Chains A and B, each alone.
Chain A
Amino acid sequence: MYNSQHRIVLRALFSERDWVDLYRLHKETLVAPGQIAGLLSFMLERKYCLVDGLRAQITSSGRNWVLQNRKQIFCKVHAEWREGSKSERPSILMPSSPYLPNLAYLDRDFFVRKA
Chain B
Amino acid sequence: MVERSTEVMSMSNFADVFRLAMRNQWLENKSNAVEEILSLCVTPEQKTLVTKLIERFHYATPNDQLEYRRSVALHIVETLKIAPSNAIIIALNDRELADSSSSYVQQMKGVLAEYDGWKSGNFVDKLRSAVSAAEDGKFIIIVDDFAGSGDTIAKKSMWLRQELKACGKDCNIFVAVASAMVSSKDKIVPLVKDYYAVNWLRRGLTDFYDGDDAVSMSLAMEQLEENLRKRSNGKSIKDYSFGWKRSEATYFLEGDNPPNNNFPIFWWPELKGGAKRNRLTPRI
Tell me whether A and B are bound partners.
yes
Binding site for B on A (CB under 8 A): 3-5, 22-23, 26-27, 29-38, 40-41, 51, 53-54, 80
0 or 1 for each of B1-34: is its CB under 8 Å from A? (1 = yes): 1111111110100110110011001011111101
- Report the separation of the CA atoms of residues A30 and B6 in the bound assembly, to the nearest whole angstrom: 7
A38 in contact with B25 (CB, 8 Å): yes
> Contact: A38 with B14, CB < 8 Å?
no
| Whole-angstrom distance between the Cβ of B279 and the nearest chain A Cβ | 15
CB <8 Å contact, A32 and B5? yes
Contact A34 B21 (CB under 8 A): yes
Q: B8 contacts A27, CB within 8 Å?
A: yes
**B28 contacts A35, C-beta separation under 8 Å:** yes
Interface residues on B, range: 20 to 34
Q: Per-position contact with A for B33-70: 1 when CB-CB < 8 Å, else 0? A: 01000000000000000000000000000000000000
**Could you tell me if A26 and B22 are in contact, using CB atoms closer than 8 angstroms?**
no
CA A3 – CA B29 in complex, angstroms? 12
Give the CA-CA distance A49 to B3 in the complex, in Å: 24
- Tell me the complex Cα distance, A31–B70, Å: 39
* Chain B residues with CB under 8 A of A80: 1
Give the residues in chain B near A4, CB-CB below 8 Å. 2
Q: Are B21 and A37 in contact (CB under 8 A)?
A: yes
- Give which listed residue, A30, A36, A41, contacts B8 with CB less than 8 A: A30
Is A34 within 8 A of B8, CB to CB? no
Which B residues lie at the A interface, using CB under 8 A? 1-9, 11, 14-15, 17-18, 21-22, 25, 27-32, 34
Give, as a whole number of angstroms, the nearest-CB distance from B1 to chain A: 5
Taking a contact as CB atoms under 8 Å apart, the answer to whether A34 and B4 are in contact is: no
> Which residue of chain B lies nearest to A44 when distances are taken between CB atoms in the complex?
B22
Q: How far is the CA of A40 from the CA of B18 in the complex (A)?
A: 10
Establish whether residues A37 and B4, one from each chain, have CB atoms under 8 Å apart when the complex forms.
no
Q: Given A5-B2, A41-B22, A51-B22, check contact A34 B14 (CB 8 Å).
A: no
The residue in chain B whose Cβ has the minimal distance to the Cβ of A32 is B31
> Which one of B7, B8, B18 has the greatest number of beta carbons of chain A within 10 Å?
B18
- Taking A5-B2, A34-B17, A41-B25 as contacts, is the C-beta distance between A26 and B9 under 8 angstroms? yes
Give A27 to B9 CA distance when docked, in angstroms.
8
Is A33 within 8 A of B2, CB to CB?
no
Q: A22-B14, A23-B11, A34-B28 are in contact. List 12 more A-B contacts (CB 8 A).
A: A3-B2, A4-B2, A23-B14, A27-B8, A30-B5, A32-B2, A32-B29, A34-B27, A35-B4, A37-B28, A38-B25, A54-B18
Of chain B, the residue at the smallest CB distance from A6 is B2
A37 touches B14 (CB 8 A): no
| Shortest Cβ distance from A78 into B: residue | B1
The chain B residue with its CB closest to the CB of A41 is: B22
Residues of B near A40 (CB, < 8 A) are 22
Q: How far is the CA of A80 from the CA of B2 in the complex (A)?
A: 10
CA distance A50 to B15 in the complex (A): 17
